[in-house]
Structure 1
């Protein structure tokens, strides 16, 4: 039996905000709405006993300021049981940042949890998992770098729980993520 699961406008909505302290900065994302449309069994890959993975989607996120600053890209969204952002009521969404550039030069990524005084709070690497209430920061070793333009590639990896995937009527699964650029 190959049933079409009508999930309606199943998608991820990225809402951009710009909270900037003492700097003239802007933020842009290549796609504000990631829409998976109506989802069928053939659209997903079972990734575990209770999870069905949708195909990854890739976005470009850029922040630029008129003067060099230490910048952090903060993400705010509803968090589920295991720390991942929610997708629908019972599903999860992982976002991974990679390909970071500061003023056109490759940099490593770390995160900060403090919006006022940035401080690396984890391991620096070329890829970094994005979590709610954390800000991505460009680093070299343990040093936070300053620049005018900071960009990253975001890979969105949603997984639908088996309970939500079993619904055969129309059901919208959404996640609202607020992204802001903050400076020190």
Structure 2
């Protein structure tokens, strides 16, 4: 049996409460983070989509990109993942968060090269706690049943679904998955990336 095609899902529907502004619009080296992430994701997948809440559909930054609107309550990333799986149930989904400014095309290609389609998911380990990182992972069609069952029972944490699942866990890719959640972290990351560019 051939492996499912891999579609890309860029999660951009979060409320960004700690940041106090939309993390997708934060600018690094002169470009909004959403577009930086989109460029890397669309370069390595057969098709790619931006995951949005209904209220974000017409946002100028998101409106020009192919969208998948959440069809589940706003309960975090799992709403976007399940909505994508429902829309294209025969696809595997390379899911990334939009708050990973160090994530690049090479890291995504490494994840895809090491993918095991016989598992529920292929994920990197977090360099901070050695647990699976759900927001830069390939979710195979087989993961849908577990995610949906957990959602129906009121459990919305995609990391716990990976912990419980039959997954391939890869070593952390250095600092590529470091995220940015607060204004202070944003300023630090901006300076770091500008020094590198």
TM-score (norm 2): 0.24
Structure (1/2) with the larger helix percentage? 2
Higher relative contact order (CA 8 A, sep 6+): 1
TM-score (norm 1): 0.26
